[in-house]
Amino acid sequence: MSPTVFKERGYRFFFFSREESRMHVHVMSGDGEAKFWLEPELQLSKSYRYNRHQLKEIESLIEDHYHELIDAWHRHFGG
């Protein structure tokens, strides 16, 4: 199961269930995919086919929705 937290500008932000416990979010679009750590600070974990401009745009969207992502993580995984 991979619940979508939000979609914006063609990107889907979601979690994979039963994955590692460190807080993170996955991002996918027709152009590529990426994973960002949410703790201890926002940081790119890995990226496939996104250019620097796209990664900056994604990071900005994560910053805009940071609290929403954290709340969704806690609702989905507990704690």
- Indicate whether 78 pLDDT > 80: yes
- Residue with the bigger pLDDT between 21 and 56: it is 56
pLDDT in tens, 46-60: 999 999 999 999 999
DSSP string, the chain: ---EEEEETTEEEE--TTS-SS-EEEEEETTEEEEEE-SSS-EEEEEES--HHHHHHHHHHHHHTHHHHHHHHHHHH--
- Indicate whether 73 pLDDT > 90: yes
Task: Give the pLDDT of residue 17.
Answer: 82
